[in-house]
Each structure stands twice: as C-alpha cells, then as structure tokens.
Structure 1
C-alpha cells in the first residue's frame, strides 16, 4: 500500500472516530440541555416544547427557582447534603490514605491474607448487607442520624487499594531519611507521602464526593425526619410531601441546582482527577 493510500485511510478513520465521538457527546448533552430548558419553562410549556418555546420566549420564567426556595425544606436539604458529603469525604479520604500507606510501605504478618479478605469483601453486593446494617444501626440507636450515613462507609477497601498503588511511588529512601531525622510514622504520612500522592487525593476526593452526594438508598432507609433529608431524598419525595403542590419545573430547578456542587468540584480537581487515576493505574 502506498504512502498516500495509507494517509487517506488514516484520515478517513480519524474522521469516522471523531464523528462517533461528536455523536456520543451530543447524545450525552441532550438530556442536560433539556433539563436546563425545563427549569425556565412553565408547567404548560414543559411538555409542549422539547426545548425552548421558540416564538414565545417571553413566557420563560424564574418562577420555578423562587417557588423552590420559597419552600423551606429545600435550603435545609442542600445544607444537609453539603454537611454529610463534606464530613464523609474528608473521613474516607483520610482513612483510605492511611490504609494505603500502611499496605504499600509496611511489612507485617498476615498482610497477604488480609488483602485477600479485603478483596473478597468487595465481591459482596452492598444491597445484601442492607438488612443486617439496618438492624445494627437500630441496635446502637443511630436511626434517623447522620452518623449512620457517615460512619459505615468511612472505611473503603476500594480507596485503600487506590492509595496503595499511588503510595508505591513514594521512595523508601525518603521515608528512611525521615525516620533518621526523627519523624514519626504519622508525620511521614502527612509531610512526605501525602504531598507526593496529591493527584490521587484529588481524584479520590472527587469520586467519594460524587458517590456520597448522589447516595439515595441507604439515606432513604435511615433518615425518617423530613428536616434531616439529604438533597436526593428531598427531591424524590417532594411531590409526595403533604402541603406541597410541586410542579415538574420546580423539580427540574432543584435537580439542576443539585448538580452544581459536583460540577464545581470537578472543574477544580479535574487535573488531579485525570493524573491521579492514571498514576494509580500504572504503579505495580
């Protein structure tokens, strides 16, 4: 095959690949575009027009947002989600980095069997443990408490293995030099290891934040007081709440606002997210 033919085939292939990527991007963005448009439409226009009511743009309204914030629980649900997600994320990232540091840099009896047991726990679907977990929370009096949402998921096997891979990049010689200088093990973890694995911290912070922010099933089981609802539960139950004649436009406005914290965090940590996952994937 001549050079010109190869170049032509390569060009055609790249055009095909980029066309497929553009099509997938459009398919992914269409629901989000519909959501944005729906937040500014009245209930009458919500299903009458796919996107915006072209020719009647004067009918667009901010009433859905005013109606949403006029309902007192929504602001509380938003603050509840921010509190639970922030505390849980900080706790799980801290414990996962500590566990990953120990698995990567220390030798101790039973280390390999322990890692096998940890891997085995990842094979158990979380839904299977819901009845026993609920019974445990009931027995210790944590029902309708944020402790039941924050504490059980604070130890993440997935997170520890991610950090274990990243911690292998920390030079043993650097740790040895720190010990010679009198550094404690916690200080080595804090001042030596964590700065080196900063991309992984950003990546796992984003993963943990998104998972906790969008968590629905377990908080729905645990939280019984409407005032303690997190945002996903509040939005899901808004239509059924007594005294609240909620429109779909209001729900769309709440859904759009619930996306913003995750989107902001992603834009802040996107560089660490990409480099952190890549670095954790290639360390062996």
Structure 2
C-alpha cells in the first residue's frame, strides 16, 4: 500500500512539473504583454510586472488592423469547421453504414490522400483558383478546406462503434438514409463531432501558408499574416507583439477549455474499433 501511494505521489509530481513546463512559456507571454517594452527582456527576468500596462491591448488595436484580422480568421475558422463537420460526417456515414460495391477500395484510396503533402499540389490548386477568379478572396480558403480526408476517417471510426441494429431498425420503420444520418447517427456522434470541430478550428486558425498564398489584400489578412507584418513594422515594440500573440492564442485556449471533455471522449471512442 505504501509503495502504491509513493508511486502515485511521484506520478502526480511528475505530471505537475510537466504541466508547469508547458504553461511557463504561455505565462511569460501573458506577463510580457502587460509590461513596458524595456521590461520584457530585463535581467534578471521579471515574472510579475511592476506596473500592469493594460493599455498595451488598446494600443495593439489602435496601431494595427487587429479587429479585421481577428474577424477574418474567425470567419474562416468557423465556416471551414462547419463545412468539414458536415461533409466529413456525411461521407463517413456512407462509408460505414451504406453497403455498395467497391466501398472499402474507395475509402482506402480517399484516406491515402492524407499521406500526400499539400506542398506537392498547392501550385495546381493556386492555378485553378486563379483561373476561377477566386484567388485573393476568403472563399478560396473555404473552398480548399471544406473537405478533409482526416475528418472522414475520424467520423467513420466513431460510426463503427454505433450498433448496426439501430440503422436496420430505422430502415424497417421506413426512415430514409438521410433521415437515419440526420436523426439517429448524428445526434449520437457529439463526442466525435466535438473532436473534429476542435482539431479543424485550431488548424484553420493557426494556418499561415494558405492565407499567405491566397490572401494578398490587407483587409483580407488573417491574424497570423497580420501579426507577421506588424512584427516587421514594430520589431522593437516587444510588449505590443506579446499582446498580439496573446490575442491570437486566446480564442484557441477558450475553445479547447470548453470542449476538452468532448474532445477526450471523442478521441477515445474513435480508437475503440477499426
């Protein structure tokens, strides 16, 4: 009993140290965003500001297009997330619950696209978007990211854990495949939907290369592009740069905080079968 207790104490101590090491850079970023510029890189390091400079957050909005950047990023992230959840869950239903010839081969071929790096086909995509006159618009990013093989794989793995008897009973009652998907399968898939939503939202929010290629107008920039431009213009304004970094990370932290339980449950469930 004492050995188990000692082992548990050591385990919790190790987890606390690891969590502190992961959170330390974030804390330093938040602390630096509330300092004066001269206090950010002082030696010895000040973990708590002498004076909290809350006006840094007002200055970052005044000196940059932060409002526009956050609005564009939020628009892209929410729209892409909704579309990926819709298309991914619908395609996954067909691959997991509808029987048709060549289903497994088609699914493997579609999932195999995950192994193809985006850099290998981003030039043909850019040429296509340019010829369709969609380049330099938010819709170009939305159109390219509305479908994702990973979302189909994640949702299919979860659908495999739902008993087939539910679908068969619904078919006997006269419910169509669309009805089964919308009224039975989808409501049971909240953990998987939460996991896919969180992963897609974070990926789209943090995307830098896609917006860099397609969004050239300043009023279309995302927060990642905007902050990079701001750093090049105000490379000595360390406190403002940290304030902008906090604003770029804060929505991700909030989304993960509220969706953590569903995210863990969805990841665990999708690994049970398949």
TM (norm. structure 2) is 0.93
Which residue of structure 2 lines up, in the alignment, with residue 97 of structure 1?
A: 89
Which residue of structure 2 lines up, in the alignment, with residue 25 of structure 1?
A: 19
Which residue of structure 1 lines up, in the alignment, with residue 225 of structure 2?
A: 233
Which of 34, 46, 49 aligns to 1:51? It is 46
Residues 179, 53 of structure 1: alpha-carbon distance in 2 compared, 3 angstrom cutoff: closer
Contact 1:199/1:275 (<8 A) preserved: yes
Instruction: Write the mapping of 1:1-284 to structure 2, written as runs, cut at 5 A.
Output: 7-48=1-42, 50-52=45-47, 57=50, 59-71=51-63, 73-241=65-233, 247-284=237-274
Please give the root-mean-square deviation of Cα atoms over the aligned residues, in Å: 1.9
Higher relative contact order (CA 8 A, sep 6+): 2
Q: CA deviation at 1:116?
A: 2.1
Measure, in 1, the Cα distance between the counterparts of 2:99 and 2:228: 48
Post-superposition Cα deviations, 1:51-82, rounded to whole Å, max 9, x if no partner, equal 3466xx2x331221111111351101111111
Measure, in 1, the Cα distance between the counterparts of 2:93 and 2:46: 50
| Structure 1: tracts of 5 or more residues without a match | 1-6
Question: What SS is found at the alignment partner of 2:232?
Answer: coil
Post-superposition Cα deviations, 1:184-223, rounded to whole Å, max 9, x if no partner, equal 2222111100111111111111111111111111111111
Contact 2:161/2:272 (<8 A) preserved: no
Contact 1:34/1:51 (<8 A) preserved: no
Contact 1:149/1:218 (<8 A) preserved: yes
Measure, in 2, the Cα distance between the counterparts of 1:119 and 1:99: 12
How many pairs does the alignment contain? Answer: 273
Which residue of structure 2 lines up, in the alignment, with residue 4 of structure 1?
A: none
User: Larger Rg: 1 or 2?
Assistant: 1
Post-superposition Cα deviations, 1:27-64, rounded to whole Å, max 9, x if no partner, equal 1111011011111111111111523466xx2x331221
Measure, in 2, the Cα distance between the counterparts of 1:212 and 1:30: 25
TM (norm. structure 1) is 0.89
Contact 2:111/2:153 (<8 A) preserved: no
| Structure 2: tracts of 5 or more residues without a match | none
Post-superposition Cα deviations, 1:202-248, rounded to whole Å, max 9, x if no partner, equal 1111111111111111111111011100111111111335xx67712
Question: What SS is found at the alignment partner of 2:187?
Answer: helix
Contact 2:64/2:230 (<8 A) preserved: no
Residues 104, 238 of structure 1: alpha-carbon distance in 2 compared, 3 angstrom cutoff: same
Q: CA deviation at 1:140?
A: 1.6
Q: CA deviation at 1:149?
A: 0.8
Measure, in 2, the Cα distance between the counterparts of 1:111 and 1:181: 25
Contact 1:101/1:164 (<8 A) preserved: yes
